[in-house]
Amino acid sequence: MRNKCCKWTVYLITAGAMALAGVVYGQERNAATAQLQWDRCLICHGKPGLKKVLPNGRIISLYVDRDQLARSVHSKRRCEECHTDITTIPHKGEIKKVDCRHCHYKGSPMGVPDTEKYLEYEESVHGRAVKEGNPKAAICQDCHGAHDVLPPTDPASHVFKLHVPQTCGRCHLKEYSDYSKGVHGKQLHEGNMDMPSCVDCHGEHRIYRPTDEKSTVYATHVPETCSKCHAAKQIVGKYGLSPERVETYKESFHGIATEFGEKRAANCASCHGYHAILPSSDPESPIYVTNIPKTCGKCHPNANLNYARGSIHVNPKSKESGVVYYVSTFFRYFTTLVILGLIIHILLDIYRRIRLRLEKEKS
């Protein structure tokens, strides 16, 4: 019996090893086949000077770097798997842009990540712009690259966190310039991976206009988006930030109004800015002491220097808030005593009425 078990174990191990070897061999064979096919295409596309002039005068390079392609996630794919409208070599006629949906869809058998990223993209501001025929709208290749697509975790990838601002900035120049001046952009540029990039606030594929209620930067969603970092203990503790910023905002008039869906109420971005976020000690910051009247004046036309004298993000439960703490504590106890006195008064009145009724019935 023991020998029989040993034989089955050997058989299973051997079968598993053969299956694994088959997979590895298959992958290597696919890679070899793909690279042999590249040779034909690279006869022309391997020339660095190959280019095309579009009707609008824009010049695009048609050069493909073999080494770059070999390092990409598509290194085992043949050219015509992406360029599906090319059936003969040399090819003729207009070649359309690659449609990544050919492989990237939910349930695809091509071995690609099984996600709904493309569906999310189609509903985004970029995807909708493409459907409307906007030639400048961002498509997959604009963010992920064309022949140099790498995993997002690869430091050389266009969508690696440190590179995201530059990738988005190719289209959003003003926003990139402002972001680069802010505390988030400066520190991310220095390699601080804790800092938010564009996608941390706006999303990755599911990006909507700020005026769209589904957007993570819609007026009433901004506090929640900012709180992902500014209410996270590992972030506020590490950088010495106040852990009460989000809580005190939510308890303020602005925070309560926002919670009830009032999009006109001031949110984090209304005061601190959104791309060029600067510390309060910076004279260019909208919350620098002399700039506060102007910042508050966007909603409160009569704002003056008195607006800058009071404390902001005050926590009435903390003694550090000074007189606000004592006033708040007084009213908390005073209100409790008033309500308690009212309840006692009502109970005594009910008792008196019951007693009078009973006495009346006896007489």
Q: What is the mean pLDDT of residues 248-271?
A: 93
Say how many C-beta atoms besides its own lie within 10 A of residue 62's C-beta.
12
Q: How far, rounded to the nearest angstrom, does the alpha carbon of residue 226 sit from its chain's CA centroid?
A: 11
Q: What is the mean pLDDT of residues 86-102?
A: 87
Q: What is the mean pLDDT of residues 29-43?
A: 74
CA-wise closest residue to 229 among 200, 199, 190: 200
pLDDT of residue 2: 52
Which residue's structure tokens are 């930030």? 241
205: pLDDT strictly greater than 90:
yes
Q: How far apart are CA 118 and CA 127, in angstroms?
A: 9
Q: Which two tokens stand for residue 258?
A: 């926002």
pLDDT of residue 207: 96
59-61 and 51-53 beta bridge pairing: antiparallel
pLDDT of residue 231: 92
Q: Which amino acid is at 272?
A: H
Q: What is the mean pLDDT of residues 28-48?
A: 77
- Report whether 262 contacts 218 (CB < 8 A): no
Q: What is the mean pLDDT of residues 209-227?
A: 96
Mark out the alpha helices in the chain (DSSP H runs): 2-45, 66-71, 79-82, 117-123, 125-131, 140-144, 164-169, 173-181, 183-189, 198-202, 222-230, 233-238, 245-250, 253-259, 268-272, 292-297, 306-309, 323-362
Q: What does residue 290 show for φ and ψ, rounded to 5 degrees?
A: -80, -10
Mean pLDDT of the chain: 87
For 95, the 3-state DSSP assignment is coil
**What DSSP character marks residue 212?**
S
Supply the pTM of this predicted model: 0.78
Is the peptide bond between 243 and the residue preceding it cis, with omega within 30 degrees of 0? no
13: pLDDT strictly greater than 80:
no
CA-wise closest residue to 144 among 74, 216, 211, 57: 74
Locate the domains of the chain by residue range: 1-96, 318-349
Contacts of 148 (CB under 8 A, 6+ apart): 65, 68, 69, 71, 72, 158
Q: How far, rounded to the nearest angstrom, does the alpha carbon of residue 82 sit from its chain's CA centroid?
A: 29
pLDDT of residue 111: 84
CA atoms within 13 A on the CB side of 107: 0
Tell me the per-residue pLDDT of 323-341, one tens digit each, with 9 for 90 and over.
Answer: 777 888 899 899 999 999 9
CA distances from residue 179 to 176, 236, 277, 293, 328 in whole angstroms, order as listed: 5, 21, 7, 24, 39
pLDDT band, residue 19 (cuts 50/70/90): very low
Q: Which two tokens stand for residue 4?
A: 């029989």
Q: What is the mean pLDDT of residues 125-134?
A: 94
146: pLDDT strictly greater than 70:
yes
**Which of 182-191, 234-243, 249-258, 320-329 is predicted most confidently?**
182-191
**What DSSP character marks residue 264?**
T
